[in-house]
Structure 1
C-alpha cells in the first residue's frame, strides 16, 4: 500500500485522502501484504469520516476482502464500532438496491474464509447492538450457516444474547436449515443447553415447533443428551416437560441421556431423568449395557449410588449384558473396589449369577491375569465376594473357590510382613529388657552383690515392669515359631482366617504390653539414678515418656489395639 495512503487511513485524515485521490485516482485500490485496503484500516480504527469519504469515491471497497476473506463490515462487527457499523450497514442497504437481493457479493451476506458473515462475528464477540443493527437490515441472515454449520442463532444462544435470539427467532423456521446432519454442533437449542443458558432454552422451546425439539447433531444426540452431559437438572426438567420422549431417544452408540449422565457422573441430571422417566433405566446401548455398567466403567461411584437409590426393579440391577455379565461381574473384573463393595451392600444385587462362561463375580476375579499379585484392596474385595457367596448362595452350584496356591501367590508378603514386624519388635524389646536386668539402675553393692536401690519403691516398679516387658516380648517371638512347627501349611496359606487374625491380634496386644512395660521401666530407672541429685530433669523425662503412648494412640487410632479384619 502507498505509504501516504496508509498514514492517512491510520490517522483518519479526510484532507489527505482527498489530496491523494485527486493526484492518483486509483490509489484506493492499493492493499497491504495481508490484503487490507485503506477502508479495512480505517474501519478497525473507527474513522467514520474517512470511510464515508472513501466510499464516496469507490463504493466497491465495501465488498473488498482481505487475505482472511473479511470485508470492512466484518471488522466493524467484530470490533463493535457502532458509528462505523451504522455507516457500512446503510451503504450495504443501498448496495442491495443496485444489485440482486441475496447475492453472494452483498456485504450483509458475504462470508469470510471461515464461512462467517458479519453477524457471526458480531455475536461471537458479544456485540449485541451491532448484531441487532445487522438483523434490522436483513433478518434472514440470522439463520445463515458457516463452515462449522453454526448460524448466528447458534452462537447467540450459546453466548446468552437474549435480545439477539429473540429477534432471530421471529423469522419463520425453515426445517432444512435446522438439520445439521453433518455438524457436531447440533441446533441452536443444543448450543443453549451447552452454554447453560436457561433463558435461551426457554425462548427456543417456545419458538421451536414440537416436532423439531428432538432434532439431533451428527452423533444423533438430542438436546437432552447435552443437558445430561452438563449435569444441568433444570434444563433436563424443561426439556422433559416439553417432550418426554427425549429420555428414550438413543444416539449413534445407542446411548440414552441416562447413559450419558451415568458415564459423566451427572447425578443431578440422573435424579431428574429417573423422576420423570423411571423406566429409562431399562434402556441398553449397542453392547447391551445399561446405565449401571457405564457408571462402573467410568469409575463414578456417585453415579452408581444414585442409580441404586432411585432404580427399584431388581432385574435392572442384575441385568446381564451380551456376555452374560451383571454389573457386579463388571465391577469385579475391572477391580472397581468401591463399586463392588457398594453393590454387595445392596440386597437386590445377586452374587450367585453366572455369566455365559459359568463364572461368578468372585471366580471371574480369580481367573483374571494370574501373573500379577493382588494388592490389599483387591484381596479385600475378593474376600467380601467370597463371604457374600457363602451367605447367599448356599444352594447354588458355583465355581470352586481359588486353590491354596492362588491364595498364597495373591497374598504374598501381606501377613508375613505383619508377623515379621511383631517378631522383630519383640526381639528388640526382649534384648533391651534382658540387658537391663543385669545392669540395674544405680549398680550393685560391692560387698553383698545386691542392687544398691533395691529397697526403694521405684526400683521394685522397675523390676516388675522390666520383667513384664521381657516375658511379653518372648511370647511374641516364640509363638510364631511354635505355630509353624505345629501346622506349617496353615501358617503359609492362612486358610483359617479367623484363627490367624486372632493370633495376630494377640501378638499385637502382647507387643503393646511389652512396649508400655519398657517405657515404665525406663521412667523408673531414670528416676532412681537422676532424682537424688537433680529432680527437674527426672520429672521432665517422666513427662515425655508418659506422653508417648498418647502420641501413638493419636497417630494410629483404634489400630493401636486391634487388627483390622
Structure 2
C-alpha cells in the first residue's frame, strides 16, 4: 500500500479510469502536499517566536509568598490568567504533536528553539507535558538543542524531569490500562533523565520537591490502580491456564483411537499426525503450567514503582505469551485428533477436514500477532538497519580500523 501511495501522482486531472481506493489515496496525498506548501509559506511569514521575554524574568523562581495575603495572591493569579496571550504556532504545533510544522520552523529559524511561553517553558517542557514523543525526539536530535535546553527551568523552577510528573489534562493519548500507562511514564522519566544533568535530579521546584518526589506523588494513585488491575487480571489468567492444563492432562490418557488392550500401546501410534498430537498436547500442558507460575508470581509481587518499569510487565507479557502458546497448541492437538478419527482417505474430504480443523489456529495466530506486534516499527527497524549497513559499506573506513600489517603493506 505504501508503494502505491508513493507512486500516485496527486496532480493527475483525469481520474475516470482510476479505482476508487486509488482515488481516495490520490485525494489524500493531494491535500497533504498542498498543506505542506501552505505550512512552508506561513512559516516564512511567521515571527511570533521572537516575542519571548527575558530569561531573567522567566526563570525567576517563586518559592515563597511571605508577606502576601491569600486574597492578594488570588487576585494576582486571576489577573495573570486574564492577561495570558494565545500560544504561538511553534507552541501550538508542539502541544498537538505536529512534528512537521515544528521541523519546518526550526529548520528555517534555528534560533526559535530558545522560544518560551508565559510560564517559562521551552519546547521540551511542553513536549513532555503533552506526551508528544516525536517532537521531543526531533528537538533532542537537533544540533546543539539538547545542550541549550536540558538545564532550563520554568517560572515554578520545574526542570524537564519535573514535567514528567505533570500531565496535561487534555492529552489525547491512547486508552491504556493503568499498568501500561504507569510503565510509559516510567520509561519517559528514564528517557528524559538520560539527557538531563546530574544536578537536575536534585533541583527543587517552587514546592520544594525534587523530580522523583513529584513523580511518585502524582503517580501514586495510578500505581494503586495498576496493582489492582494486575492482580485481577493475573487471577483470571490463572483460572484459564489451569483449565487448559486440566484438559491437556486428561487428553494424554484418552488418546485418539484408543489403546491396544493387550499391550496398552496407542492404536494410531504409527500415524504421523499422532506424533503431532502428542507434541502439541505436551507443549500445551507445559506452557499452561509455566504460565500459572508466572501469574502467581505477579500476584505475590511488591508492586513498587521500579517493578512496573521492567519486572512485573515482563512477567505479565511472558505469562500471556505462554498462555497464547498453550491455547494454540491445544487447538493443534484438537485438529490432529479430528483428522485422525474422522479421516476417510479421500483426497478432497481430507483437504476439507484439514482446512476446517486448522482454521481456528490460523485465525487465532493472525489476531494475536496483529494485536500484539507492531509491524510498522519492525519495518522501520529493518529499514534503518539496511541503511546503516549500506552507509557502512559505502563510506571508507579510517586507516586505524585496519590491521597494522595491512596498513604497512599499503605504504609505498
Instruction: Sort the TM-score into its range (normalised by shorter chain).
Output: 0.5 to 0.7
Instruction: Give distance in 2, aligned partners of 1:549 and 1:462.
Output: 14
- Write out per-residue CA displacement over residues 230-270 of structure 1, whole angstroms, 9 at most, x where no aligned residue: x9xx9xxxxxxxxxxxxxxxxxxxxxxxxxxxxxxx75444
Please say if residues 93 and 99 of structure 2, whose CA atoms lie closer than 8 Å, have aligned partners that are also in contact.
yes
Equivalent residues of 2:230, 2:299 under 8 A apart: no
- Residue 122 of structure 2 is matched in structure 1 by 326
Structure 1 gaps of 5+ residues are 1-230, 235-265
Q: Which residue of 2 aligns with 1:540?
A: 352
Taking the aligned partners of 2:245 and 2:94, their CA distance within structure 1 comes to 51
Aligned to 1:393: 196
Figure out how many residues of one structure are paired with residues of the other and give that number. 292
Query: Could you tell me how far 1:322 is from its partner in structure 2?
Result: 2.9
Aligned residue runs from structure 1 range 67-466, under 5 A: 268-275=37-44, 281-283=49-51, 287=84, 289-296=87-94, 302-313=100-111, 316-333=112-129, 336-338=130-132, 340-347=133-140, 348=145, 350-364=149-163, 366-367=165-166, 375-376=175-176, 379=182, 382-398=185-201, 399-401=210-212, 402-403=215-216, 405-409=220-224, 411=226, 419=234, 422-446=237-261, 449-466=264-281
> Relative contact order: is structure 1 or structure 2 higher (C-alpha 8 Å, sep ≥ 6)?
2
Q: Is the 8 A contact 1:352 1:389 kept in 2?
A: no
TM-score (norm 1): 0.43
Paired residue secondary structure (1:292): helix
Kindly provide the CA deviation profile for residues 23-50 of structure 1, in whole angstroms up to 9, marking residues without a partner as x.
xxxxxxxxxxxxxxxxxxxxxxxxxxxx
- Which residue among 471, 475, 488 is the counterpart of 2:290? 475
Deviation at 1:557, TM superposition (A): 3.9
Distance in 2, Cα, partners of 1:420 & 1:494: 22
Q: Distance in 2 between matches of 1:560 and 1:400?
A: 33
Q: 2:307: which partner in 1?
A: 495
Check 1:454–1:268 CA distance in 2 against 1; reply closer, same or farther (3 A cut): closer
TM-score under structure 2 length normalisation:
0.56
1:513 aligned onto 2:325: yes
Cα distance per residue 1:295-316 (max 9 Å; x no partner): 3456755533433443312xx3
Partner of 2:206: none
Q: Give the greater-gyration-radius structure (CA).
A: 1
Q: Is the 8 A contact 1:284 1:291 kept in 2?
A: no
Unaligned runs of 5+ in 2: 1-30, 54-82, 202-209, 379-412
Does residue 526 (structure 1) correspond to residue 338 (structure 2)? The answer is yes
Deviations 1:417-473 (A, max 9, x none): 764565454334223212322322123445655533345443233223211111111
Do the aligned residues in 2 keep the contact of 1:461 with 1:521 (CA within 8 Å)? yes
Aligned ranges 1:19-58 → 2 under 5 Å: none
Task: Supply the RMSD in Å over aligned alpha carbons.
Answer: 4.3
